[in-house]
Structure 1
Amino acid sequence: MLVWLHGILLDANLSRSLARALAARGNRVVLLDLLGHGRSEKPRQAGAHRMDLYADQVLCLLDELGVDQVVLGGVSLGTNVSLLAAVRAPQIVRGLVLEMPVLESAAPAAALTFVPLLLEVHYARAILRLVSRVVSRLPSSGIGPLDSLLGAVGSDPAEIAAILHGIIVGPLAPTVEQRQAITVPALVLGHGIDLVHSFADAKRLASQLPNARLIRTRTFAELWVRPARLTAEIASFLDRVWADCEPREPVQPGQAA
């Protein structure tokens, strides 16, 4: 099974097409709306939105589903949460698909992006609440990434502020030493277009994970706009992960190993 996680302020709609494509190839795919996102509850306390608590939510989901072997993956926030979950439960995670990690190289750009946004949702709350009410009434477009973006814009400013505040004050990713101890197969997808999702971070992460392969995407939206190449790469990766996990027939006495 693959559990795929969305980016910050987005939701599962972002990846429904990817999930369907992978399911058509024989994979079981679960999309999770993390707390504060999509159809999940939206607490307005920042303490509920730490990334390490998001990782706990993923593990609780697996426990609820009775799953003891899983591949975790996601984009941006989803990648960081997947890494944290892999550190917390290495016996469960069999592989990782990590798109656009946000690590050390991105820290200054992330601060310049999220801190002003946090201030905006605090001090321009009345205007933003009016915008959110208008957007939330728009009908679904049927286009997953667009609906996910509209869902983010249509969120209440107080809910957005809680998410941003919680993520800023909590741990963003495992330490370098913890990453180096993650030995499961990993597929890292990165691009070099925006500073928050620096290709340097993707390249560094791939070098830190002992069993990782790095793929440079053509654009930050390739998986959502022109997904065929990357979907095929992810599907092949999943096939290899689960093939390696299949138990071998015991060798009988007198048989060649």
Structure 2
Amino acid sequence: MPATVSETRFFDSFDGVRMAWREIGDGRPVVLIHGYFSDAATNWIRYGHAEAIAREGFRVIMPDLRGHGDSARPHEADAYPPDALARDGHALIAELGLSDYDLGGYSLGARTTSRMLATGATPRRIVFSGMGLEGLIDTGRRAGHFRNILTKLGQHERGSPAWMAEAFLKTTGGDPVALLGVIDTFVDTPEATVASFVQPAVVVNGVEDDDNGSAAALAQTLPNATLVEVPGNHMSAVTRPELGRAIATFLAG
């Protein structure tokens, strides 16, 4: 029988902001964090990735980032201090009492994973997906790209990357004010710090995806990483079953 996704659960993070998460499966915990403009249901559940991982004997824990999904979407600037997303991740791990777990994410979820590692998280294995080296060590370009999208809604050229991102934002019901605040939480991770992440790692990336720079360069910088390319670009790779299978294969290995 297929595993069943839990009802949405909630906890209060480090500053009292209400955070949501869902789970599927039983076994070894793995925390998987979704991308910007998305949510756990869209990123991990809708296309079967979480179920594929759960079938390999994992308890898949999927938070909604601050400002996204069923988590709170505050509009106050002070709700978005630097590294707030990483601090939320640490708070979830503490809430669940996890000590031996795996950790990863897609796009902003991968960046959040890097910040959690840089600020003391100790997972056994790590997953970076939809992410290249530049997206970790120099967040400014992507921050500018998204700030432009959110401050000029309805003005983007049809078919352009900004237009496509705005269309995705509409499908997830994103809150532009909260999402602008999320940009202020971005923190660069120095390349030397990335090179200190010694855990076994997998870098899973769409073969046409260079939105966050080179995934190959990220895999080369991490001391114990394997690069797995799957079909698609940044927007489409996450919809492909190959992505979930690649993560499941790595974690079960």
- CA–CA distance in 2 between the matches of 1:97 and 1:82? 8
Query: 1:206 is matched with which residue?
Result: 219
Q: Deviations over 1:101-122 (max 9, x none)?
A: 154278675255223223225x
Residue aligned with 1:3, SS: strand
CA contact (8 A) 1:49 1:163 kept: yes
Superposed counterparts of 1:42-53, under 5 Å: 42-50=73-81, 52-53=83-84
Q: What is the aligned counterpart of 2:40 among 6, 9, 12? A: 12
Change (3 A) 1:232 1:190: closer
- CA–CA distance in 1 between the matches of 2:77 and 2:130? 24
Change (3 A) 1:194 1:109: farther
Q: CA deviation at 1:87?
A: 2.0
Structure with the higher strand share, 1 or 2: 2
CA contact (8 A) 2:50 2:244 kept: no
- CA–CA distance in 2 between the matches of 1:23 and 1:233? 13
Moved over 6 A (4+): none
Change (3 A) 1:234 1:102: closer
Q: Deviations over 1:186-244 (max 9, x none)?
A: 0001235354233x2x111111110000112221323423x1x333332221123xxxx
Q: Deviations over 1:80-128 (max 9, x none)?
A: 10111112224x311111111154278675255223223225x98xxxx
Change (3 A) 1:232 1:222: same
Query: 2:237 is matched with which residue?
Result: 222
CA contact (8 A) 1:38 1:151 kept: no
Change (3 A) 1:73 1:155: same
Superposed counterparts of 1:151-190, under 5 Å: 152=172, 154-164=173-183, 166-167=184-185, 170-171=186-187, 173-190=188-205
Q: What is the aligned counterpart of 2:114 among 69, 76, 83? A: 83
Higher CA-based Rg: 1
Residue aligned with 2:86, SS: helix
1:38 and 2:69 equivalent? yes
Query: 1:114 is matched with which residue?
Result: 146
Query: 2:252 is matched with which residue?
Result: 239
Change (3 A) 1:70 1:192: same
1:97 and 2:156 equivalent? no
Query: 1:62 is matched with which residue?
Result: 93
Change (3 A) 1:49 1:209: same
Given residue 188 of structure 1, which amino acid in structure 2 is its aligned partner?
Answer: V
Q: Deviations over 1:113-158 (max 9, x none)?
A: 223223225x98xxxxxxxxxxxxxxxxxxxxxxx85453x23332
Q: Number of matched residues?
A: 206
TM-score, normalising length: structure 1: 0.71
Q: CA deviation at 1:18?
A: 1.1
Change (3 A) 1:50 1:187: farther
Residue aligned with 1:2, SS: strand
Q: Structure 2 regions of 5+ residues with no counterpart?
A: 1-28, 156-167
Q: CA deviation at 1:19?
A: 1.1
- CA–CA distance in 2 between the matches of 1:178 and 1:185? 15
- CA–CA distance in 2 between the matches of 1:107 and 1:191? 20
How many percent identity over aligned positions?
A: 30
- CA–CA distance in 2 between the matches of 1:205 and 1:189? 10
- CA–CA distance in 1 between the matches of 2:36 and 2:67? 10
CA contact (8 A) 2:110 2:130 kept: yes
Structure with the higher helix share, 1 or 2: 1
Query: 2:13 is matched with which residue?
Result: none
- CA–CA distance in 1 between the matches of 2:82 and 2:54? 27
